[in-house]
Amino acid sequence: MPGKDDDSVILEMRETRVRFKMDAGLLKAVDGVSLSLRKGATLGIVGESGCGKSVTAGAVFRTLPSYAEVGGDILLYEKDGKRLDEPINIAKLNPTGPEIRGIRGGNIAMVFQEPMKAFSPIHTVGNQIIEAIRLHVEPDEGKARRIAIDTLGLVGISSPEQRIDEYPHQLSGGMRQRAMIAMALSCKPAILIADEPTTALDVTVQAQVLDLINKLKAEINTSVIYITHDLGVIAETSDEVAVMYLGKVVEYCAVDALFHDPRHPYTRALLRSIPTADKRRKGRFDSIRGTVPYPMNLPERCGFFDRCDLAEEGLCGRSAAPMVEAAPGHFARCFKVEPYAAKEVV
Amino acid sequence: MRSAEALTAPDPNRLLEVRGVKKYFPITKGFLKRTVGYVRAVDDVDMYINKGETLALVGESGCGKTTLGRCVLQAIKPTAGEVYFTTRKDERVDLTTLPYDRLRVVRRDMQMIFQDPYASLNPRMTTLNIIAEPLVCHRLMSGSRLRGYVRELMETVGLNPHHLERYPHAFSGGQRQRIGIARALATQPRFLVCDEAVSALDVSVQAQILNLLMDLQEKMNLSYLFISHDLGVVSHISDRVGVMYVGHIVELADTAALFDRPMHPYTKALLSAKPVADPRRKSHRIMLEGEVANPSKLPPGCPFHPRCREAAAECGERKPEWREAEPGHYIACHRA
């Protein structure tokens, strides 16, 4: 993985697993994910519904339901602006204990898809933001209120002195999402996890919010984990991208390589199936046949086997595909992808 | 603001024509439900759809595209305006004034596909009963003939006909949307309103459903009113596109003309806002300031002028006319 011993890495997932114990069996929502997030960079996680991208975020934030089993390592290398000698393993912390509560909201903050669900409807937006600030940064209420007003202004909310005392239902969808971002950024977190922050918004509002996140990232030097199903949003926000399918990362590389040199058959098919205005023609779409299988009691083989055009019975149908380094720093989980080193030998 | 085109003799290719349709929802207050204002969901819309054609309506949430679709089908009665439909006997009828018993017959020709495949299918009905319901309602078929026909429909939309007795929960989102399409096709309609029909689906499945809709159109000579917020999808599936902004169609043109040479400032901003799936492409984004106008308190003049970069004094005074700027390219803007 890129930069394992690199001190620019702020968060690292090593073989992270999340399993849900269900009556019908064991659901492997996240199945051995290894990713690293660099300081000030944006890591995009993209995939279709049910691929495990939101559960991955939940594992880092430790907000999964109690019947979820988190395994592997999630290492945090920096806390309160200081580099740690010994990283904190978030995966091993008690999800309701004081350590994670010190990290959550302060060092790692999260922006959710639906701000109407993430805000409490019976408290003003301001009180909810002030609560987070008093907990992590500034115990004095008056000063905390000042910080909250400043942050609301920073995310482009007009007359923040008034808006701070409004309830979430009084704000429009775009405003609410801005307030949500303001709440997440009010404690100047080192890591911001954004889980589909613009999916519920209209394109023109989405454009404003994407612009805002990119601007704030540069200003506060926050690292961002950006989770979305929209490859267009990934292209505009991310530095590195992980494509997830059935709980596994199937391709992991720099953003440019993903769009201009994709290696995994799933990534390629996904890129072909997006309808964009430039490759417009009235005609058939390249679709991917079949649907994503249910991630429970699956046979030991490549998860994309049933839907892949390159699948080979004896090879891909026998065991899980290995992660191959197809080019320096460009990984793909596929039997059919050649490792780049092998090419150099020939 | 009738355009010249609407006043000419009816074109034989025309399936549907909407003239000056308005839908105002009253805002009531107090115990006596006094009307204190109106939400102008659809405000004076003109458009037409030809036989075998796809007209797309795009716009942001709350712009009135769904309300317009429902007004066309008479699922809600428009406040004003006419909706002309050419029946299968080639009669041109105004749906807004048609008596109920005749409207019921015409409704066989017009069906709807809904956005949410989870909410639009009754969980307590089997696939057979869901797809057969329109046929039963219109008393078109019954018994074993009906069962055989439903099987055929399931095959047409790419479902396994053995799953006839299954309930909706046993199907995936894409398969449920296929059930919804089979139900819409049961009465052999000629016109379908697809209201965000693929928005709830993942891209790989979305492409399958769009292909199905295009195949069916070719096979059955269907016309679609395709309501969507996704400009990428619209650019592929439609022949012509109308852009809506708070109850008004602000621009309507052939798909190629609209995407290559948009004229209305709102269309330009909307097109530039969509993220492009290519990190090497620098986006030249037109950022819109402020918020969409409130349809119960529309600004005077052009509804878009408070956010428009090209707005001049007259935009705040006079409502722009709906005019044909180029052949087939309609626009409501003073400045373009």
Considering the domain architecture, whether residues A195 and A86 belong to the same structural domain is answered as yes
**A205-245 pLDDT tens trace:** 888 888 888 888 888 889 999 999 999 999 999 999 999 99
Tell me the whole-structure pTM to 2 decimals: 0.86
The pLDDT value given to residue A277 = 63
Tell me the pLDDT band of B120, cut-offs 50, 70 and 90.
very high
Contact A280, B235 (CB under 8 A): yes
Examine residue B186 and state whether it is found in any structural domain, yes or no. Answer: yes
CA distance A334 to chain B (A): 19
Q: How far is B137 from chain A (nearest CA, A)?
A: 33
Task: Say if residues B110 and B183 touch (Cβ distance below 8 Å).
Answer: no
- Contact between A204 and B233 using a beta-carbon 8 Å cutoff: no
Query: What domain count does chain B have?
Result: 1
Q: In terms of domains, do A30 and A100 share one?
A: yes
**Mean pLDDT value across residues A188-215:** 87
Could you tell me if B169 lies within 8 Å of chain A, comparing CB atoms?
A: no
Q: For residue range B232-281, what is the model confidence (pLDDT) as tens digits?
A: 899 989 999 999 999 999 999 999 999 999 999 999 999 998 888 888 88
Note which residues in 237-256 of chain B have CB less than 8 A from chain A: 237-239, 255-256
In a mutagenesis test of the B interface, which of A171, A281, A287 is the best target, namely the one with the most B β-carbons within 10 Å?
Answer: A287
pLDDT at residue A346 in the model: 41
> Per-residue pLDDT tens for B306-331?
999 889 999 999 999 999 999 999 99
Residues of B in contact with A235 (CB under 8 A): 275-279, 281
Q: What is the pLDDT of residue A326?
A: 93
- Shared-domain flag, residues A84 and A136: no
Question: What per-residue confidence (pLDDT) applies to A26?
Answer: 87
Question: Do both A161 and A196 map to the same domain?
Answer: no
Checking if the pLDDT of A283 tops 70, the result is no
Determine, yes or no, domain membership for A84: yes
Determine whether the interchain pair B237/A282 forms a contact, defined as Cβ–Cβ distance below 8 Å. yes
pLDDT at residue A342 is higher than 60: no
A327 in a structural domain: no
Residue B48 belongs to domain spanning: 4-238
Yes or no, beta carbons of A48 and B211 under 8 Å apart: no
Domain limits at A236? Answer: 6-107+190-291
d(CA B148, CA B163): 13
CB atoms within 10 A of CB A101: 16
For residue A102, being part of any structural domain is answered with yes
- Mind telling me how many Å the CA of B202 is from chain A's nearest CA? 6
Q: Which residues of A touch B207 (CB under 8 A)?
A: 273, 275, 285-288
In a domain, B127, yes or no: yes
User: What distances in angstroms separate CA B177 from CA A263, A273, A291, B117, B167, one per listed residue?
Assistant: 31, 18, 13, 5, 13
pLDDT at A3 over 60: no
pLDDT for residue A213: 86
Closest Cα of chain B to A8: distance in Å?
23
Boundary (domain end) residue, out of A149, A172, A188: A188
Indicate whether A163 and A233 sit together in one domain: no
A315 assigned to some structural domain: no
For the cut 60, the answer to whether the pLDDT of residue B68 exceeds it is: yes
Tell me the pLDDT of chain B averaged across its residues.
Answer: 90
The reply to whether A145 and A194 lie within a common domain is no
Q: Which residue of B has its CA nearest to A228?
A: B202
Residues A98 and A201 in one domain: yes
Does A152 share its domain with A84?
A: no
Among A293-302, B174-183, B201-210, which range has the highest average pLDDT? Answer: B174-183
Which of A69-73, A193-197, B27-31 is least confident?
Answer: B27-31
| pLDDT value of residue A9 | 93
Tell me whether residue B292 is in a domain.
no
CA-nearest of A122, A209, A124, A126 to A161 is: A126
Indicate if the pLDDT at residue B8 is higher than 60: no
A229 plus A197 within the same structural domain: yes
DSSP per residue over B177-246, as a string? HHHHHHHHHTT--SEEEEESTTTTS-HHHHHHHHHHHHHHHHHHT-EEEEEES-HHHHHHH-SEEEEEET
Helix (H) or strand (E) holding A84: strand A82-89
B122 in a structural domain: yes
Helix (H, G, I), strand (E, B) or coil at B156: helix
pLDDT for the residue B6: 47
Query: Do A271 and A182 have their domain in common?
Result: no
Percent of chain B with pLDDT strictly greater than 90: 70
Minimal Cα–Cα distance from B306 to chain A, Å?
Answer: 15
Contact A207 B276 (CB under 8 A): no
DSSP state of A296: B
Position A345 scores a pLDDT of: 45
Same domain, A34 and A95: yes
* Residue-level pLDDT at A300: 86
Task: Kindly state whether A115 is in contact with chain B, defined as any CB-CB distance less than 8 angstroms.
Answer: no
Number of domains in chain A: 2
When pLDDT is averaged across residues A277-296 and rounded to a whole number, the result is 74
Three-state SS for B26?
A: strand
What is the interface pTM, i.e. ipTM, of the complex? 0.79
The whole-number pLDDT of residue B288 equals: 84
Q: Domain holding B150: CATH number?
A: 3.40.50.300
Please write the tens of the pLDDT for every residue from A73-117. Answer: 999 999 888 888 899 999 999 999 999 998 998 899 999 888 778
Mutate to test the interface with B, among A157, A203, A233 (most CBs of B within 10 A): A203
In chain B the beta strands, taken as DSSP E runs, fall at 14-29, 34-50, 54-58, 80-86, 92-94, 110-113, 191-195, 223-228, 240-245, 248-254, 323-326, 329-331
Residue among A323, A312, A328, A230 nearest A271 (CA): A230
Which tokens hold the place of B304?
A: 């878009």
Number of CB pairs, chain A paired with chain B, less than 8 A apart: 131
Q: Is residue A336 part of a domain?
A: no
Closest partner residue to A211 (CB to CB) among B211, B232, B287 is B287
Comparing A258-262, B141-145, B213-217, which segment has the lowest mean pLDDT?
B141-145
- Answer whether residue B92 is part of any domain: yes
Whether A308 is covered by a domain: the verdict is: no
Task: Report the range of poorest mean pLDDT among A3-7, A331-335, B164-168, B195-199.
Answer: A3-7
Task: Examine residue A329 and state whether it is found in any structural domain, yes or no.
Answer: no
Residue with the larger pLDDT of the pair B111 and B9 = B111
Which residues on chain B are in Cβ contact (under 8 Å) with A206? 273, 275
* Span A121-154, pLDDT tens digits: 999 999 999 999 998 888 999 999 999 999 998 8
Residues A240 and A206 in one domain: yes
Q: Is position A27 within any domain?
A: yes
Structure tokens that stand for B325 in this block: 């700027």
Cα A287 to Cα B205: distance, rounded to the nearest angstrom: 7
Q: Percent of chain B at pLDDT above 70?
A: 96
